[in-house]
A = this chain, B = another copy of it.
Amino acid sequence: MTTTNRQIHLASRPDGEASSANFRLVEAPAPEPASLAVGQVLVRHHYLSLDPYMRGRMNDAKSYAVPQKLGAVMGGGTVGEVLASRHPGYQPGDKVVGMGGWQEYAVVDAAQPGALRKVDTTHVPLSAYLGAVGMPGVTAWYGLMKICAPVPGASIAVSAASGAVGSVVGQLARAKGCRAVGIAGGPEKCAYVVDELGFDACIDYKAHADPKSLYQALADATPDGIDGYFENVGGAVLDAALARMNAFGRIAMCGMISGYDGAPIPLAHPALILQSRLRVEGFIVSEHMEVWGEALGELAGMVASGRLKYRESVAQGLESAPDAFIGLLKGRNFGKQLVKLI
């Protein structure tokens, strides 16, 4: 009996908002252990990671992300278990993290640098390697430590604060002796950010449709201004944060999810970059591999010791991935969005 490998392909590119109609569920035969070439590893995926950057790859536009090919398996981070291996570094039963894509099984050329990494699940749950101890965690670490470069006592703010990246930014900032203020959507997320994650304050941007109201709420939460801002959303939230920046503040531009689906959202007052002598820097964590070792080490230690908390939204089954992804783009997830495949 041949096992089935269910896959999600990109069926069409979005015209405006992405929808589940852009995806197609495809059934392929699962790779056979006997068919592995030397150096290859067969992995069964336990979790698939859904991340905002995937929306950019669905377009055919020039962007930092190489466009996702039409009619091919959607790319994405995965954790799973080795079923069979023709690479000496991997044995059946090993837990691994890789870029297996939106499918249940993958054959990986393990000799390729960065293609597969064995992970220890003694103190860190497997799924965390897609979140706080994975790409989102390192993203938070890089933007905070290398761009915002906070000193103890500094005021750090972060948008999408309950998300996979934002939640790590604020907790790391607190661990560095900073004041951490989050911006999130809805009272439940804000309560979680303050009560569970230990941020000093959190603004509910959904309660402030008017830019002046949003600015005032942020001003109340950041009485000493903002020294470092970590941006995940863009739009009105970025406008408000920019206006609260202290002189010589730093802004790490990590994501602009509010503008991914439609027309670009302008920045209302770019002259503030000059007036407040800010440094605004965009980055992609995969271009800074030199920090991954240090960052993952620190993040794993914090998770293992309970000092770094995280929440996961887990959708069940590969077929649920498209809807879960659309929900992520709309902020319906709460914490790291995963799809459980077993």
Could you list which residues of chain A lie within 8 angstroms of chain B, going by C-beta atoms? 56, 63-64, 234, 238, 247, 253-256, 259, 264-271, 273-284, 287
CB distance from A241 to the nearest CB of B (A): 12
Pick 29 A–B contacts, CB within 8 A, sort by A: A56-B275, A63-B275, A64-B247, A253-B270, A253-B273, A254-B274, A256-B270, A256-B274, A259-B271, A264-B268, A264-B269, A264-B270, A265-B270, A266-B267, A266-B268, A266-B269, A266-B270, A270-B270, A273-B280, A274-B283, A275-B282, A277-B281, A277-B284, A278-B280, A278-B282, A279-B279, A279-B280, A279-B281, A280-B280
CB distance from A237 to the nearest CB of B (A): 12
Question: How many chain copies?
Answer: 2
Known A247-B64, A267-B267; contact A253-B274, beta-carbon cutoff 8 A: yes
Are B282 and A281 closer than 8 Å at their CB atoms?
A: no
* B contact residues around A259 at 8 Å (CB): 271
Report how far A273 CA is from B254 CA in the complex, Å: 10
* B contact residues around A264 at 8 Å (CB): 268-271
CB distance from A124 to the nearest CB of B (A): 29
Known A266-B268, A268-B264; contact A64-B275, beta-carbon cutoff 8 A: yes
Looking across the interface, which residue of chain B has its beta carbon closest to that of A147? B279
With A266-B266, A280-B281 known, 5 other A-B pairs at CB within 8 A are A234-B270, A264-B269, A277-B287, A278-B280, A279-B279
Report how far A246 CA is from B281 CA in the complex, Å: 14
* B contact residues around A266 at 8 Å (CB): 266-270
Are B255 and A274 closer than 8 Å at their CB atoms?
A: yes
Residue from the set A255, A264, A273 with the largest chain B CB neighbour count within 10 Å: A273
Report how far A268 CA is from B266 CA in the complex, Å: 4
* B contact residues around A278 at 8 Å (CB): 280-282
* B contact residues around A279 at 8 Å (CB): 279-282
Q: Which of B247, B265, B277, B282 contacts A274 (CB 8 A)?
A: B282
Report how far A205 CA is from B284 CA in the complex, Å: 33
Closest 6 CB pairs of A and B: A274-B282, A266-B266, A267-B267, A267-B270, A280-B280, A256-B271
Report how far A278 CA is from B64 CA in the complex, Å: 12
Looking across the interface, which residue of chain B has its beta carbon closest to that of A272? B282
CB distance from A271 to the nearest CB of B (A): 4
Residue from the set A64, A254, A281 with the largest chain B CB neighbour count within 10 Å: A281
